[in-house]
Amino acid sequence: MFVLEDVGIRAECVATDEGNGVLELKTLAVEPAFQGKGYGKAMADFLVQTYKEQYTVPQVGTGDSPSTIPFYEACGFHRHHLVKDFFIDHYDHPIHECGMRLVDMVYLQRKL
């Protein structure tokens, strides 16, 4: 788990070893008052740079949401694959983001 501080906590992220050289960024979150100010991108860039010698593929899995997909694409990630019905199969209640029900998990990867 990593925390980005700048006169207080601004962002946090958990990164996991998924095997086969894959580093997955999970739960990347930025304090709402500080979203859109570069903290999320700084966190993603930090993790990729920190672990570029140990991993060959940085990836992130997220819902197909108009708020998260463009963010990760702006961070240099590209759609790689998806897991159909992930949010239906793994949650006992509907998950909504930006007024949309999340259904599939979209995996994005970034080149080093």
pLDDT in tens, 14-66: 999 999 999 999 999 999 999 999 999 999 999 999 999 999 999 999 999 99
The one-character DSSP state at 34 is G
User: Which has more confidence, 106 or 67?
Assistant: 106
The mean pLDDT of the chain is 95
**CATH (residue range 2-110):** 3.40.630.30
Please list, in sequence order, all residues whose beta carbon lies within 8 angstroms of the beta carbon of residue 69, skipping any fewer than 6 positions away: 62, 79, 106, 108
pLDDT digits (tens, 9 = 90+) for 75-91: 999 999 999 999 999 99
pLDDT (mean) for 92-98: 94
Residue 28 confidence (pLDDT): 95
- Could you tell me if 78 and 109 are in contact, meaning their C-beta atoms sit under 8 angstroms apart? yes
Residue 111 confidence (pLDDT): 87
Residue 11: name the closest of 20, 22, 33 by CA.
33
Whether the predicted model's global pTM rises above the 0.85 cut:
yes
Phi-psi region of 41 (alpha: psi -120 to 50; beta: other; left: phi over 0): alpha
Domain boundaries, the chain: 2-110
Query: Does residue 112 surpass a pLDDT of 90?
Result: no
Residue 3 confidence (pLDDT): 97
Handedness of CA 45, 80, 70, 33 (dihedral sign): negative
